[in-house]
Structure 1
Amino acid sequence: MDYELLKDRVAMIAARIQEIGGEVQEVVIGEPALLEKIIQTEEQLGLKLPESFRKVLLEFSGDFSLRWFLPDDMEQPNEFSGIFCGTPHWNLERFPQLEQGKMEWIDNVFPNDKDEYDVVWHNTLAFCEVPNGDYLAFDMNTGNDASIVYLSHDDGEGHGYKIANNFIELLENWSRVAFVGCEDWQWLPFTTSSESGINADGDAAKRFRTWIGLDI
């Protein structure tokens, strides 16, 4: 992946949000993670991190966050009425804490791996906590370079949706829709099915970029 291009996209998104009167609360692109720290985290978790995520941590950043919000009075097309912010983030240091929080949901609410809803939570690795209590997670059933799945705790429409085939694909496509918010209702407009992932070249994504004024 072209990380300089990714940095440019982050800067373009932040600049455009400010141009239209929105608020950019945070832009953090930390240093790449040390291999020793990744190995230590893997030992704590008892598993190996997915290949493309490991690559991004080592080559790009171990601590990333972008927080932007649209102006409150901005008129929105109906199809994008649920989009109000962008909050992508990950932090290698917080992985054990995230996993503990996810496991508490499994133990207390979704313990039945034979249940169609519950099983989506099982054998996953959370990497991003959604403000509403949901998670973006790696589906560890999908091999060494795990796909990204949405874990909803309250019957969200996006529960179990595959958002991307791997982490690098997620960054590529999510960044091209301005890293819209992690809540499922914010990225669902850019999917066509539970398996499609975010389609950054689809008609909805093109209309969104035109509406918000981004050429990425």
Structure 2
Amino acid sequence: MNAMDAVGRLSKILGSLAAQGFVTRPLVADPPASPGEVDAVEGQLGCRLPMSLRRCLATVASRLEFAWFAPPEHTFPGPFHEIFSGNLCWSLNGLPELMTAVRGWVDNVFPDPSDPYDRVWHHKLPFMEVGNGDYLALDLNEDAHGRVVYLSHDDGEGHGRTMAPSFEDLLIRWIPLACPGAEDSQWLPFCAPSDGGLDPSSARAHQWTALVRPKNGPSAVEGL
């Protein structure tokens, strides 16, 4: 599976979940951006986008919004009891605003690069704001350039965890799980030990997909 194939399944995933009573939002997928449009945003940011993100913006979609919510009365069993939604979004034109917000956190709350917690916030390009005030971001440090990292503002367990080694790989790993989260407590159950990132082929991932498998008919989600 590649990133484009993964994104192409999102509409079917929403349809499958809606048929089971989940609340879903319409999928938004804008046409890919031109090289000139990407260059213009890089100029606003003052940095080059990691190549994996740039490819997705130029070949998959310049903006994407995907979201679902479990019914209020629905509770998943442990270790999935904290999952109540799924969310994935990005926007080329929204990157400068997100970068400004994260730089504000760095300047005012996490300014010390010698502090292990603060350091995680430095040299990151946010691409998605989490509803609780955290962010998903791409590492801009040379030794880990392009990896997807979680930024928590309040000591979240996922702070600094690598979700995937690249933006494209995040889509390939997360979409087969229907993108639980994006709060760290919702996707951490699917991470490999230590800092291995999301693993959609794990035994726990198969347990999860069995819980949201349609009662009748084929599934749109890998492994369901």
> Does TM, scored on the shorter chain, surpass 0.5?
yes
Q: Match for residue 98 of structure 2?
A: 98
Q: Match for residue 151 of structure 1?
A: 151
AA aligned to 1:64 is L
The answer to whether the Cα contact below 8 Å between 1:51 and 1:144 also exists between their aligned partners in 2 is no
The 3-state SS of whatever aligns with 1:26 is: coil
The answer to whether the Cα contact below 8 Å between 1:136 and 1:150 also exists between their aligned partners in 2 is yes
Q: CA deviation at 1:192?
A: 2.7
Coordinate RMSD, CA, aligned: 1.5
Q: CA deviation at 1:20?
A: 1.2
Partners in 1 of 2:56 and 2:143 — Cα distance?
Answer: 17
- Superposed CA deviations along residues 94-148 of structure 1, whole A, max 9, x for unmatched, are 1110000000000110000000100000011101011100000001114685100
Q: CA deviation at 1:72?
A: 1.7
Q: CA deviation at 1:195?
A: 1.3
Partners in 1 of 2:100 and 2:191 — Cα distance?
Answer: 30
How many residue pairs match? The answer is 216
TM-score, reference length from structure 1: 0.95
Q: CA deviation at 1:3?
A: 5.3
TM-score, reference length from structure 2: 0.92
- Superposed CA deviations along residues 142-185 of structure 1, whole A, max 9, x for unmatched, are 46851000000000000000000001110000001101111100
Does 2:27 correspond to 1:34? no
Partners in 2 of 1:21 and 1:130 — Cα distance?
Answer: 24
Q: Match for residue 86 of structure 1?
A: 86
Partners in 2 of 1:165 and 1:88 — Cα distance?
Answer: 17
Does 2:76 correspond to 1:76? yes
Partners in 2 of 1:98 and 1:75 — Cα distance?
Answer: 32
AA aligned to 1:33 is A
Q: CA deviation at 1:7?
A: 4.0
Partners in 2 of 1:182 and 1:106 — Cα distance?
Answer: 21
The 3-state SS of whatever aligns with 2:94 is: helix
Unaligned runs of 5+ in 2: 214-218
Partners in 2 of 1:152 and 1:122 — Cα distance?
Answer: 12
Partners in 1 of 2:206 and 2:181 — Cα distance?
Answer: 17
The answer to whether the Cα contact below 8 Å between 1:158 and 1:194 also exists between their aligned partners in 2 is no
The 3-state SS of whatever aligns with 2:141 is: helix
Partners in 2 of 1:51 and 1:76 — Cα distance?
Answer: 37
Partners in 2 of 1:94 and 1:75 — Cα distance?
Answer: 33
Q: CA deviation at 1:77?
A: 1.4
Partners in 2 of 1:144 and 1:32 — Cα distance?
Answer: 26
Unaligned runs of 5+ in 1: none
The 3-state SS of whatever aligns with 1:88 is: strand
Q: CA deviation at 1:5?
A: 2.6
Does 2:112 correspond to 1:108? no
Larger deviation: 73-82 or 56-65? Answer: 73-82
Cα gap change, 1:44/1:169 in structure 2, threshold over 3 Å: closer, same or farther? same
Does 2:168 correspond to 1:168? yes
Q: Percent identity?
A: 38
Partners in 2 of 1:3 and 1:170 — Cα distance?
Answer: 9
The answer to whether the Cα contact below 8 Å between 2:139 and 2:146 also exists between their aligned partners in 1 is yes
